[in-house]
């Protein structure tokens, strides 16, 4: 052995797999580059041959370690989907879904209950629902005025028939 090889072997820590590989291969004083054929590519320093066998035992050693338990309190979330639909006539219905399964379908709900629930949830929700309810009120008031006018015509026609 040369003095340079001896000093690198003494200072460099010897991995068990490297030591085994060195003991099975005959040592020569000539550099390895001359003994390799020209078609062989030189090793890249980032991935030596011994890196792959070392990675498997290192990964295996990491797996048995228990993970540290988090001290953060984990909260369980529940997803419910409540769909409230209304018609122009002011009829409201509620549908409730939990985990993709329909729990309630087509449950009649009063407009007052919808308005109250919206006010409890959030101002933006309440404002939107109140505008829809106001439109429905106006339509009902217009229909009521129309029906009252019809009732008045029917009363006049009935009064004329009785005379």
Dump pLDDT digits (tens) for 28-44: 555 554 545 555 555 55
Measured between alpha carbons, how far is 144 from 147 in angstroms, rounded to an integer?
5
pLDDT of residue 72: 73
Cβ-proximal residues to 99 (8 Å cutoff; 6+ apart), any chain: 79
Model's pTM, two decimal places? 0.45
Phi, psi (deg, nearest 5) at residue 101: -110, 130
CB 85 within 8 A of CB 93: yes
Q: Please state the separation of Cα 46 from the chain's center in Å.
A: 38
């Amino acid at each position: 052995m040369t003095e340079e090889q001896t000093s690198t072997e003494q200072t460099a820590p010897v991995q068990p797999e490297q030591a085994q590989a060195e003991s099975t291969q005959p040592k020569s004083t000539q550099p390895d580059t001359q003994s390799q054929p020209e078609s062989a590519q030189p090793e890249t320093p980032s991935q030596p041959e011994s890196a792959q066998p070392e990675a498997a035992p290192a990964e295996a050693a990491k797996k048995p370690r228990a993970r540290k338990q988090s001290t953060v309190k984990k909260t369980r979330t529940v997803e419910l989907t409540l769909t409230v639909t209304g018609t122009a006539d002011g009829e409201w219905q509620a549908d409730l879904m939990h985990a993709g399964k329909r729990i309630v379908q087509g449950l009649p709900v009063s407009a007052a209950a919808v308005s109250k629930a919206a006010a409890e949830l959030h101002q933006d929700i309440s404002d939107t629902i109140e505008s829809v309810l106001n439109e429905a009120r106006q339509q009902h008031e217009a229909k009521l005025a129309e029906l009252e006018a019809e009732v008045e015509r029917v009363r006049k026609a009935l009064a004329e028939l009785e005379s």
